[in-house]
Amino acid sequence: MSNTRPLLAAIAALVLASGAAAAASQNEQTILLETIRANRKALVAVNLQLSEEEAGKFWPLYDKYQKEISAVGDRVVALIDDYTKSFHDLSNDKAAKLMEDYLAAEAERIQVRRTYLPEFLKILPGRTVARLYQIENKMDAVLRYDLAAAIPVVEEKPAPAK
């Protein structure tokens, strides 16, 4: 039997949790982000089905990887928070700065993934590592989709002062 159903069910749970994050307080958002991160690890565990030997080598490396990826994600969340607080009267300079910071964070996210690829390949077969990255990408896509719905688009011109 395929592991697709548990993956889809877990991703659906992540969507519901992240959707609630948009309306939650900062403290509640932190708790939800931690819940999502814990679910992410469980989802990977269910879908990789590692041997005991592989798991012993993989999980410490994965935890280190997630710590670095999460730090980048936290920076992106802070940028989004900054943006949503000021998007109505966002200056051109602030908009440009936010985009520079966002693109820098995305470049760092890619660099972390690139850095860990050979490390994962040292302990897992290539197909398993490909599956890991696919699972990570699917979870990220779902979370990004949900997050995008909560982020207002920059208005063409700033709202007039009242």
Q: What is the pTM of this model?
A: 0.74
Q: How many residues does the chain have?
A: 162
* Tens-place pLDDT, residues 2-60: 555 555 555 555 544 444 444 445 565 566 566 676 788 888 999 999 999 999 999 99
Q: What are the pLDDT digits (tens) for 87-110?
A: 888 888 999 999 999 999 999 999
Domain housing 106:
4-150
Please state the domain count of the chain.
1
Distances (CA, A) of 112 to 67, 109, 116, 124, 147: 10, 5, 6, 18, 22
Is position 161 within any domain?
Answer: no
155 lies in some domain: no
Q: Is 116 exposed, middle or buried (0-12, 13-18, 19+ CB in 10 A)?
A: buried
Q: Is residue 160 part of a domain?
A: no
* 157 within some domain: no
Local structure of 54: helix, strand or coil: helix
pLDDT tens string 117-145: 999 999 999 999 999 999 999 888 877 88
